[in-house]
Amino acid sequence: MERTVRGKEKFAYGFAAVGSYMVANIVSSYSQYYLTNILIVSPVFILVLMIVGRIIDMCTDPIMGVIVDKTNTKHGKMRPYVRIGAFVIGLVTIFMYYPVGGSIEWRSVFGALMYIGFGLAYTFVDVPAMGMLSVATPDKDERASLLSYYVTVGSVGGLLPAAMLFVLQLFVPEKWVYFVISAIVGVVTFFAYSYLYKHSKERFSTSTEHIKVKDMLKVVAKNKPMTLALLTSMLASPRYMIMGVAIYIATYVVVIPGLTSGTVLLLLYLVVGAGMFAGILLTPVAYKRIGYKKTGLLFGAIGAVFLGAGFGVGLVNIYAALPFMTIGGLGLGAYNTLPYPMVGDSLDYLEWKTGERMEGICFSLNSFVTKFNNAVGAFGVMLGLIVCNFVQPSTSGAVEAQSEFTVNGMYALATLIPAAGFLLSLIPMAIYDYTGKKKENILRELEERRAAKAENGDKVPDED
């Protein structure tokens, strides 16, 4: 098979993935800690903020998807938004963790503006950027490979902020270290999305600007494979708590004399990350051999069993639980990878079912689910800290002693609760049926329809 996406264009998607995952990971990993320990904002206020942010996302993500599908310019339907979005996401990220002083009211307002502003900026750039992956090539296998490449490279890049924290904590005060990280990530993200705009092409997008919004929504509602794939990811959303609570575990649970919390955090990331990256690499191999359904069931069960067992072992000896966390990380890697090719493949099903593909709306829903998962992770961590009686520091950047109940509760947020999420996620994956002979028959019939349209002189997607 001759590859369509090569050279600078493929590098552009990898670079954009690094920027996207870096900025997403500093929010999922550090936002709660920044609010509780740097701005010293009330945990109850943070809970309300998370809810408000997700309500806004419920509106803005689909709206952005509709806007993309209503766009038709000489530069494409998605690329123009990536160009503008590069500036927006870069600017917001640079100032997101600024350690502003003043009254508690002002600190709360600033934290809320940065958090909600990031959500809006990320929607503006991520929805079209993800949609571009589905129109970069008409070949479904190359598309799946490109999506896996995006996730793999992005996941590696997503660990860079942890490495930055490890280094910067050696000479930057705790109060300022997160601001320095966000500033660096903001600059990198700006250049990453700008490079993607310059070196990418939309080869396979369909003309949807003439379709009414209500008809778009009706069409997307018929995409059953996408619905089940996204529902699987949403039910397993507690897995995102692992990233959010890791900084607390590195600070209060796994305390190693002579090592900073950033060093311990990096070690924890390496422990879980080893399994996660193995899952990312093994997932494409698995779904090519046994399909999405069996792959999801396999890795979901692994995540449920080993993270759950890791909690019990960790109560006795936290270090003996580390291998369980590594194996449980296989589930994290698989579930971080699977939704992208599954949503991409579902566009073929949607075209077969309705005659339309709706890349913008479908990937806006995927983007919404990603942010929903992050919100569950953040909300779950904050609620867990409240329930576990977490003691906030009296001054910015300080560390207060925690009770055994609090320490064990933090550990449960990284093991037991995510395990329960993986277990629930097996239900929709068991129902998923866009596989095997059914999928082969649908794809064959779809190709016959496209060929018939071409013979009749109808407009078909450009496959140059």
pLDDT digits (tens, 9 = 90+) for 81-109: 999 999 999 999 999 999 988 888 999 99
Q: What was the pLDDT predicted at 377?
A: 85
- pLDDT tens for 361-387 read 777 777 778 778 877 888 888 899 889
Confirm if 147 and 341 have CB atoms less than 8 A apart. yes
User: Running DSSP on this structure, what letter comes out for residue 238?
Assistant: G
Q: Nearest-CA neighbor of 175 among 267, 269, 40, 43?
A: 40
Q: What b/e string do you get for 251-270 counting C-beta neighbours within 10 Å, with b at 16 or more? A: bbbbeeeeebbbbbbbbbbe
Q: What was the pLDDT predicted at 464?
A: 37
SS3 193: helix
**Could you identify the residue written with the tokens 């093991």?**
415
- pLDDT tens for 122-163 read 989 988 888 888 777 777 778 778 877 888 888 888 888 888
CA distance 437 to 435: 7
The number of C-alpha atoms within 13 Å of 102 and in the hemisphere containing its C-beta is 10
Whether the model pTM is above 0.85? no
Q: What was the pLDDT predicted at 341?
A: 84
Specify the amino acid at residue 192: A
Q: What b/e string do you get for 281-295 counting C-beta neighbours within 10 Å, with b at 16 or more? A: ebbbebbeeeebbeb
- pLDDT tens for 147-158 read 778 888 888 888
CA distance 395 to 164: 24
- pLDDT tens for 387-409 read 999 888 877 767 778 888 998 99
- pLDDT tens for 216-233 read 566 677 888 999 999 999
CA distance 309 to 331: 14
Q: Nearest-CA neighbor of 397 among 27, 48, 30?
A: 30
Q: Nearest-CA neighbor of 191 among 347, 83, 352, 314?
A: 83
CA angle 398, 401, 407 (to 5 degrees): 115
Is the pLDDT score of 26 beyond 50?
yes
Q: Nearest-CA neighbor of 131 among 208, 48, 23?
A: 208
- Give the pLDDT band (50/70/90) at residue 326: very high
Is the pLDDT score of 211 beyond 60?
no
Please list the residues that pair with 76 across neighbouring strands.
73
- Give the pLDDT band (50/70/90) at residue 234: very high
Q: What was the pLDDT predicted at 361?
A: 73
Q: What was the pLDDT predicted at 461?
A: 44
Is the pLDDT score of 62 beyond 90?
no
Q: Nearest-CA neighbor of 345 among 365, 359, 364, 331?
A: 359
- Helical (H) or strand (E) element with 29: helix 7-33
- pLDDT tens for 421-430 read 999 999 999 9
What's the N-to-C CA distance of the chain in angstroms?
Answer: 14
- Give the pLDDT band (50/70/90) at residue 460: very low
Confirm if 318 and 267 have CB atoms less than 8 A apart. no
Residue 397 sits at φ, ψ, to 5 deg, of: 90, -5
Confirm if 344 and 137 have CB atoms less than 8 A apart. no
User: Running DSSP on this structure, what letter comes out for residue 78?
Assistant: S
- pLDDT tens for 257-271 read 777 777 888 888 888
Exposed, middle or buried: residue 80 (CB in 10 Å: 0-12, 13-18, 19+)? middle
Please list the residues that pair with 26 across neighbouring strands.
none
Q: Nearest-CA neighbor of 423 among 307, 264, 276, 286?
A: 307
Please list the residues that pair with 73 across neighbouring strands.
76
Is the pLDDT score of 420 beyond 90?
yes
- Give the pLDDT band (50/70/90) at residue 210: low
Of 299 and 249, more confident:
299
CA distance 334 to 332: 6
